[in-house]
Structure 1
Amino acid sequence: MSAAHDKTAAPRKRLFIGLMGLTCLILVGVIFLAWWIPSKGLANIHPDLPRYVGMSMAVLSGIAMLGTALLVLTTALGKDIFFTRFMRLVVIKFLLPVIEFVGKVLGLDRDRIRQSFIAMNNSLVISQQYRLKPDRILVLLPHCIQLFDCEIKVTGDINKCVECGRCNIKGLVELGRKYHIDISVATGGTLARKVIVEKRPKLVLAVACERDLTSGIKDCYPLPVIGILNERPFGPCFNTMVNVGAIDEALQQVLDVHSSPASESP
């Protein structure tokens, strides 16, 4: 098995959760220092002012720790406990940049952090227990999934594929037929955003590398995105691969089984 395959095979949430806990402790420490350093001067203004400010800082620290605990519980239990959608906003827009900075200071690989973030995001999306009709879900693929030298380009219409089986497109076409899911191939972020605007899905299942998935999840919020990492045995953006079974499994977790053609009896 190649190194590129090993790197993207099984992203886990534990790294992101650990960095999130460390970031929470750092935030609590900063809040404490923000109260303690000027507290001596606050007493000169009013004797009770340090206490009031201290209580406010304690509330902020409590919120930070409670939010971290709720995120961990939500991902661990796979259930929407409280404010999951808002917590996704906090993780995507605020925590991720801070956690990436903390990881950089610790010398951690940025792609490993992104892999863990994607796994964390997927857990938060799935915990909301979506049950959507097939026509409300969009599967978005990068063009590098198709073989570079294939004469039949499937960008814009994946059903042009002649299903020779040389790349993963055949399995994805079969998956589209199985669930009657809309599958699109995009040549870049701009076209991907255009497809999303045109299709107006309720949920996107996207295949890409760490950088593009992280960027796409951030850009699409509040639209829920489930990210599946591609495999790059020949390097980035060239004859990449994807685990079709992982896409199938993810779809089963968000599809309305009563409306999916795959669930109907023959």
Structure 2
Amino acid sequence: MLKSLNNFSVRLRRTRCKPEELLLLFSSCLQRSKCDCNLADSLANCRRCGQCVVKDLLDLADEYGCHAFIATGGRLAAQRARDPKIKAIVAVACSKELSEGIRATFPKPVLAQELCTPNGPCKDTRVNVEEVRKAVEFFLR
């Protein structure tokens, strides 16, 4: 419920930012569990093989010129989101992490996209990349 109210509120505020001020923040559970790339060290380690949605999110960040960050936990995500150079955030995570992140980064505008968990929580999760694209475009219009 917090996610829906937050997204409604953010859209009403009509916040806009430059690409370099936008953070695309997503959960590490979007990475394929059998992948041997260490994305926590650097997203440049991703081979962009297409076996998980991380490739699509990185392509999206490259296309629009915004920052991308994969979070292995809520504290790390909040720390990155609090960077003063970041003016707006598109966050992709589970409901619990999104709620905590929205509270931790307030008053920064966060458009939250909840991931789906076809294989149970925290493993090989997915997200609708077109919805993430719409959120990115909202801030950059």
Same fold (TM over 0.5): yes
Structure-1 separation of matches of 2:82 and 2:8:
25
What's the CA shift for 1:199?
Answer: 6.2
Q: Secondary structure at the match of 2:82?
A: helix
Please tell me whether the aligned partners of residues 156 and 185 of structure 1 are also in contact (alpha carbons under 8 angstroms).
no
Task: Spell out the pairing of 1:8-157 with structure 2 (5 A cutoff).
Answer: 116-157=1-42
Structure-2 separation of matches of 1:189 and 1:130:
24
Aligned residues: 141
Could you tell me which residue of structure 2 aligns to residue 253 of structure 1?
138
Structure-1 separation of matches of 2:36 and 2:114:
25
Structure-2 separation of matches of 1:141 and 1:129:
22
Based on CA coordinates, which of the two structures has the bigger radius of gyration?
1
Structure-2 separation of matches of 1:158 and 1:175:
13
Structure-2 separation of matches of 1:159 and 1:247:
20
| Structure with more of its chain in helix, by fraction | 1
TM-score (norm 2): 0.93
- Amino acid of the structure 1 residue aligned with 2:48: E
- Verify: 1:206 aligned to 2:91, yes or no: yes
Gaps of 5+ in 2: none
2:55 to 164, 170, 176: 170
What's the CA shift for 1:154?
Answer: 1.4
Structure-2 separation of matches of 1:199 and 1:238:
32
2:114 to 229, 234, 239: 229
Structure-2 separation of matches of 1:199 and 1:207:
20
Between the two structures, name the one with larger relative contact order (CA 8 Å, sep ≥ 6). 2
- Amino acid of the structure 2 residue aligned with 1:237: C
Aligned-pair identity in percent equals 33
Please tell me whether the aligned partners of residues 159 and 173 of structure 1 are also in contact (alpha carbons under 8 angstroms).
no
- Displacement over 4 Å in runs of 4+: none
Structure-2 separation of matches of 1:143 and 1:199:
23
1:158 to 35, 39, 43: 43
Q: Secondary structure at the match of 1:226?
A: strand
**Closer, same or farther: CA 157–198 of 1 in aligned 2, 3 Å:** farther
Please tell me whether the aligned partners of residues 145 and 241 of structure 1 are also in contact (alpha carbons under 8 angstroms).
yes
What's the CA shift for 1:168?
Answer: 0.1
Please tell me whether the aligned partners of residues 82 and 105 of structure 2 are also in contact (alpha carbons under 8 angstroms).
no
What's the CA shift for 1:117?
Answer: 2.5
- Verify: 1:190 aligned to 2:87, yes or no: no
1:215 to 100, 115, 133: 100
Structure-2 separation of matches of 1:162 and 1:155:
14
Please tell me whether the aligned partners of residues 91 and 98 of structure 2 are also in contact (alpha carbons under 8 angstroms).
yes
Q: Superposition RMSD on alpha carbons, in Å?
A: 1.4
What's the CA shift for 1:253?
Answer: 1.0
